[in-house]
Structure 1
Amino acid sequence: MTLKDNLPKIALGAWAWGNDGTFGDEHKIEDLKPIYEKSMELGLNLWDTAYVYGMGKSEEVLGEFLKTSNREDFVISTKFTPQLAEMFEANEVTSMYENSAKILGVEDIDIFWIHNPVGAPDWTKKLVETANDHDIKMIGVSNHNLAEIKEANEILKDAGLKLGAVQNHYSLLNRSSEDSGILEYCKENDIIFFSYMVLEQGALSGKYDTAHPFPEGSDRANAYGGSLAEIEELNKAIADIAENHNAKVAQLPIAWAIAKGTLPIVGATKVHHVEDAADAIKIELSDDEIKTMEELADKANVNTIRIWEKEMK
Structure 2
Amino acid sequence: MTYDKKLPKIALGAWAWGNDNTFGGELSIDELCPIYDEAMDLGLNLWDTAFAYGMGTSEKVLGEFLKTTPKEDYIISTKFTPQCADPQSENAVTAMLENSMNLLNTDFIDIFWIHNTVDAPKWTEKLALTAKEYDIGMLGVSNHNLEEIKEANDILEDNGLELKAVQNHYSLLNRSSETSGILDYCKKNDITFFAYMVLEQGALSGKYDTKHPFPEGSDRAMAYGDSLDKIEELNNVLGEVAANHEVNIAQIPVAWAIAKGTLPIVGATKKHHVSDAFKACEITLSKDEIDMIEKAGDEVNVNTIRFWEKEMK
Matched-pair contact (CA < 8 Å) for 1:116–1:141: yes
Q: Deviation per CA, 1:217-245, whole angstroms, max 9, x where unpaired?
A: 22111111111111111111110111000
- Name the residue aligned to 1:161: 161
Q: Deviation per CA, 1:22-41, whole angstroms, max 9, x where unpaired?
A: 13411111000000000000
- Name the residue aligned to 2:275: 275
- Equivalent residue runs for 1:12-23 within 5 Å: 12-23=12-23
1:216 Cα deviation after fit: 2.3
- Name the residue aligned to 2:203: 203
- Name the residue aligned to 2:227: 227
- Name the residue aligned to 1:120: 120
Whichever residue aligns with residue 116 of structure 1, its letter is: N
The separation in 1 between residues aligned to 2:232 and 2:23, in whole angstroms, is 19
Q: Say which SS state the counterpart of residue 283 (structure 1) adopts.
A: coil
- Name the residue aligned to 2:306: 306
Q: Say which SS state the counterpart of residue 249 (structure 2) adopts.
A: coil
Q: Say which SS state the counterpart of residue 225 (structure 1) adopts.
A: helix
Q: Say which SS state the counterpart of residue 97 (structure 2) adopts.
A: helix
The separation in 1 between residues aligned to 2:88 and 2:299, in whole angstroms, is 45
Q: Deviation per CA, 1:5-36, whole angstroms, max 9, x where unpaired?
A: 51100000000110112134111110000000
Q: Deviation per CA, 1:120-172, whole angstroms, max 9, x where unpaired?
A: 20000000111011010100000000000000001101111000000000000
- Name the residue aligned to 2:142: 142
- Name the residue aligned to 2:181: 181
Aligned-pair identity (%): 69
Larger deviation: 85-94 or 9-18?
85-94
Q: Say which SS state the counterpart of residue 85 (structure 2) adopts.
A: helix
The separation in 1 between residues aligned to 2:155 and 2:109, in whole angstroms, is 21
Number of aligned positions between the proteins: 313
Q: Say which SS state the counterpart of residue 137 (structure 1) adopts.
A: strand
Q: Say which SS state the counterpart of residue 120 (structure 2) adopts.
A: coil
TM-score (norm 2): 0.98
- Name the residue aligned to 2:237: 237
Q: Deviation per CA, 1:73-99, whole angstroms, max 9, x where unpaired?
A: 000000000111146622001001100
1:55 Cα deviation after fit: 0.4
Q: Say which SS state the counterpart of residue 163 (structure 1) adopts.
A: coil
Q: Say which SS state the counterpart of residue 254 (structure 2) adopts.
A: helix
TM-score (norm 1): 0.98
Matched-pair contact (CA < 8 Å) for 1:110–1:138: yes
Matched-pair contact (CA < 8 Å) for 2:16–2:24: no
Matched-pair contact (CA < 8 Å) for 1:224–1:304: yes
Larger deviation: 180-189 or 296-305?
296-305
The separation in 2 between residues aligned to 1:111 and 1:120, in whole angstroms, is 17
Shift in CA distance, 88/254, structure 1 to aligned 2, threshold 3 Å: farther
Structure 1: segments with no counterpart, 5+ residues = none
- Name the residue aligned to 1:94: 94
The separation in 2 between residues aligned to 1:143 and 1:45, in whole angstroms, is 23
Matched-pair contact (CA < 8 Å) for 1:11–1:264: yes
Matched-pair contact (CA < 8 Å) for 2:173–2:297: yes
1:2 Cα deviation after fit: 5.2
- Name the residue aligned to 1:109: 109
Q: Deviation per CA, 1:229-275, whole angstroms, max 9, x where unpaired?
A: 11111111110111000011000000000000000000010110000
Whichever residue aligns with residue 89 of structure 2, its letter is: E
Larger deviation: 230-239 or 278-287?
230-239
Q: Say which SS state the counterpart of residue 136 (structure 2) adopts.
A: coil
The separation in 1 between residues aligned to 2:222 and 2:309, in whole angstroms, is 16
Structure 2: segments with no counterpart, 5+ residues = none
- Name the residue aligned to 2:66: 66
The separation in 2 between residues aligned to 1:55 and 1:94, in whole angstroms, is 17
Shift in CA distance, 213/3, structure 1 to aligned 2, threshold 3 Å: farther
The separation in 2 between residues aligned to 1:5 and 1:259, in whole angstroms, is 21
Shift in CA distance, 24/13, structure 1 to aligned 2, threshold 3 Å: closer
Runs of 4+ in 1 over 4 A off after TM superposition: none
- Name the residue aligned to 1:190: 190
- Equivalent residue runs for 1:252-267 within 5 Å: 252-267=252-267
Matched-pair contact (CA < 8 Å) for 2:197–2:266: yes
Matched-pair contact (CA < 8 Å) for 2:139–2:163: yes
Shift in CA distance, 243/56, structure 1 to aligned 2, threshold 3 Å: same
Matched-pair contact (CA < 8 Å) for 1:24–1:216: no
CA RMSD of aligned residues (A): 1.2
